[in-house]
Structure 1
Amino acid sequence: MKEILAQLGIKDHNNGTSTGNEWLPSNGGVLESFSPVNGQPIATVQTTDAAAYAQVVATAQQAFLQWRTIPAPKRGEIVRQMGDALRTHKTALGKLVSYEMGKSLQEGYGEVQEMIDICDFAVGLSRQLYGLTMHSERPLHRMYEQWHPLGVVGIISAFNFPVAVWSWNSALAWVCGNVCIWKPSEKTPLCAIAVQNIISEVFKNNHVPEGVCCLVQGGRELGEQLAADERVALVSATGSTRMGKAVAQSVAARLGRSLLELGGNNAIIISEHADLGIALPGCVFGAVGTAGQRCTTTRRLIIHESVYEAFKAKLVKAYGQLRIGDPLNEHNHVGPLIDKDAVQNYLTAIDQCKQQGGRFAVEGGVLEGAGYESGCYVKPCIAEVDSQLPVVQHETFAPILYLLKYKTIDEAINLQNSVPQGLSSSIMTLNLREAEQFLSYAGSDCGIANVNIGTSGAEIGGAFGGEKETGGGRESGSEAWKAYMRRQTNTINYSTQLPLAQGIKFDL
Structure 2
Amino acid sequence: MLTLHDPADVRQIAATYETHTPADVTAACERAAGGAELWGRTPGPRRAAVLHAAAALLEQRADAIAADITREEGKLVADARAETLRAAAVLRFHAGEAERTHGEAGDAGDPGTLAYTRRRPLGVVALVTPWNFPIAIPAWKLAPALAAGNAVVLKPSTRAPGGALALVAALRDAGLPEGVVEVVIGGADVGTTLADDARVAALSFTGSNAVGDAVRERVQARGARFQGELGGNNPLVVLADADPARAAAIAVSGAFGAAGQKCTATRRVIVEQRLYEPLLAAMVAEVDRLKTGPGLDAASHVPPLVDKEAQSEVLEAIEQALGAGAEAVAGGRAPDGELQHGAFVLPTVLAQAGPGMTVVDDEVFGPVCAVLPVGGVDEAIEQANATPYGLSASIVTNDLRGAFRFVERIDAGMVHVNRPTPGADPHMPFGGVKGSAGSGYREQGRAALEFFSQSQTVYVQHDLP
> Under TM normalisation by the shorter chain, which class is it?
over 0.9
> Partner of 1:93 in structure 2?
65
> Partner of 1:5 in structure 2?
none
Q: Secondary structure at the match of 2:297?
A: coil
Question: Could you tell me which amino acid in structure 2 is paired with residue 372 of structure 1?
Answer: Q
Q: Secondary structure at the match of 2:340?
A: coil
Question: Could you tell me which amino acid in structure 1 is paired with residue 251 of structure 2?
Answer: C
Q: Distance in 1 between matches of 2:357 and 2:338?
A: 36
Correspondent of 1:157 among 129, 137, 154: 129
Mark the CA change 1:176 to 1:418 in structure 2 (over 3 Å): closer, same or farther.
same
Q: Distance in 2 between matches of 1:131 and 1:438?
A: 36
Q: Is the 8 Å Cα contact of residues 87 and 140 (structure 2) preserved in structure 1? A: yes
Q: Distance in 2 between matches of 1:299 and 1:115?
A: 26
Q: Is the 8 Å Cα contact of residues 33 and 190 (structure 1) preserved in structure 2? A: no
> Partner of 1:293 in structure 2?
261
> Partner of 2:278 in structure 1?
310
| Superposed counterparts of 1:23-34, under 5 Å | 30-34=1-5
Q: Is the 8 Å Cα contact of residues 97 and 446 (structure 2) preserved in structure 1? A: no
Q: Distance in 2 between matches of 1:232 and 1:79?
A: 23
The Cα offsets for residues 298-323 of structure 1, whole Å up to 9 and x where unpaired, read as 00001111211111100011111210
| Superposed counterparts of 1:165-180, under 5 Å | 165-180=137-152
Mark the CA change 1:361 to 1:52 in structure 2 (over 3 Å): closer, same or farther.
same
Q: Is the 8 Å Cα contact of residues 51 and 171 (structure 2) preserved in structure 1? A: no
Question: Could you tell me which amino acid in structure 2 is paired with residue 78 of structure 1?
Answer: V
Q: Is the 8 Å Cα contact of residues 386 and 405 (structure 1) preserved in structure 2? A: no
> Partner of 2:237 in structure 1?
269
The CA deviation at 1:198 is 3.0
Q: Which has the larger radius of gyration?
A: 1
1:396 lines up with 2:351 in the alignment: no
Mark the CA change 1:433 to 1:225 in structure 2 (over 3 Å): closer, same or farther.
same
1:124 lines up with 2:92 in the alignment: no
Question: Could you tell me which amino acid in structure 1 is paired with residue 429 of structure 2?
Answer: A
Q: Distance in 1 between matches of 2:7 and 2:320?
A: 25
Q: Distance in 1 between matches of 2:214 and 2:403?
A: 37
| Superposed counterparts of 1:417-428, under 5 Å | 417-428=385-396
Correspondent of 2:347 among 340, 356, 380: 380
Q: Distance in 1 between matches of 2:458 and 2:379?
A: 49
Q: Is the 8 Å Cα contact of residues 100 and 191 (structure 1) preserved in structure 2? A: no
The CA deviation at 1:117 is 0.8
> Partner of 1:280 in structure 2?
248
Mark the CA change 1:136 to 1:195 in structure 2 (over 3 Å): closer, same or farther.
closer
Mark the CA change 1:129 to 1:232 in structure 2 (over 3 Å): closer, same or farther.
farther
Q: Secondary structure at the match of 2:204?
A: strand
Question: Could you tell me which amino acid in structure 1 is paired with residue 223 of structure 2?
Answer: L
Correspondent of 1:213 among 173, 181, 188: 181
> Partner of 1:470 in structure 2?
436
1:42 lines up with 2:9 in the alignment: no
The Cα offsets for residues 473-499 of structure 1, whole Å up to 9 and x where unpaired, read as 4211142211110122333445679xx
| Superposed counterparts of 1:63-82, under 5 Å | 63-82=35-54
Q: Distance in 1 between matches of 2:5 and 2:162?
A: 10
Mark the CA change 1:277 to 1:144 in structure 2 (over 3 Å): closer, same or farther.
farther
1:461 lines up with 2:427 in the alignment: yes
Q: Distance in 1 between matches of 2:152 and 2:269?
A: 39
Q: Is the 8 Å Cα contact of residues 29 and 197 (structure 2) preserved in structure 1? A: no
Q: More deviation in 183-192 or 113-122?
A: 183-192
Q: Distance in 2 between matches of 1:274 and 1:138?
A: 62
> Partner of 1:322 in structure 2?
290
The CA deviation at 1:425 is 0.6
1:181 lines up with 2:176 in the alignment: no
> Partner of 1:258 in structure 2?
226
Q: Distance in 1 between matches of 2:402 and 2:426?
A: 27
Q: Distance in 2 between matches of 1:94 and 1:307?
A: 40
| Superposed counterparts of 1:397-436, under 5 Å | 397-436=365-404
The Cα offsets for residues 384-414 of structure 1, whole Å up to 9 and x where unpaired, read as 2454334211101111101111222121111
The Cα offsets for residues 113-145 of structure 1, whole Å up to 9 and x where unpaired, read as 110110111121112241123564555544332
Q: Is the 8 Å Cα contact of residues 132 and 144 (structure 1) preserved in structure 2? A: yes
The Cα offsets for residues 17-72 of structure 1, whole Å up to 9 and x where unpaired, read as xxxxxxxxxxxxx1111111111112321111234322211111011111111111
1:480 lines up with 2:448 in the alignment: yes
The CA deviation at 1:276 is 3.4
Q: More deviation in 73-82 or 38-47?
A: 38-47
Please identify runs of 4+ aligned residues in structure 1 that moved more than 4 A: 134-141, 493-497
TM-score between the two structures when normalised by the length of structure 1? 0.87
Q: Is the 8 Å Cα contact of residues 14 and 71 (structure 2) preserved in structure 1? A: no
Q: Is the 8 Å Cα contact of residues 128 and 157 (structure 2) preserved in structure 1? A: yes
Mark the CA change 1:138 to 1:405 in structure 2 (over 3 Å): closer, same or farther.
farther
Correspondent of 2:198 among 230, 240, 244: 230
Q: Secondary structure at the match of 2:125?
A: strand
Question: Could you tell me which amino acid in structure 2 is paired with residue 197 of structure 1?
Answer: A
> Partner of 2:84 in structure 1?
112
Q: More deviation in 387-396 or 105-114?
A: 387-396
Correspondent of 2:172 among 188, 193, 200: 200
> Partner of 1:146 in structure 2?
118
Unaligned runs of at least 5 residues, structure 1:
1-29, 498-508
Question: Could you tell me which amino acid in structure 1 is paired with residue 129 of structure 2?
Answer: S
The CA deviation at 1:223 is 1.2
> Partner of 1:25 in structure 2?
none
Q: More deviation in 218-227 or 273-282?
A: 273-282
1:343 lines up with 2:298 in the alignment: no
The Cα offsets for residues 408-431 of structure 1, whole Å up to 9 and x where unpaired, read as 212111111110111111111111
Q: Is the 8 Å Cα contact of residues 26 and 194 (structure 2) preserved in structure 1? A: no
The CA deviation at 1:366 is 1.3
> Partner of 2:416 in structure 1?
450
Percent of counterpart pairs with the same letter?
33
The Cα offsets for residues 310-351 of structure 1, whole Å up to 9 and x where unpaired, read as 111000111112100111111110111111111111122112
1:191 lines up with 2:163 in the alignment: yes
Unaligned runs of at least 5 residues, structure 2:
none
Q: How many residues align?
A: 461
TM-score between the two structures when normalised by the length of structure 2? 0.95
Higher helix share: 2
The CA deviation at 1:380 is 1.3
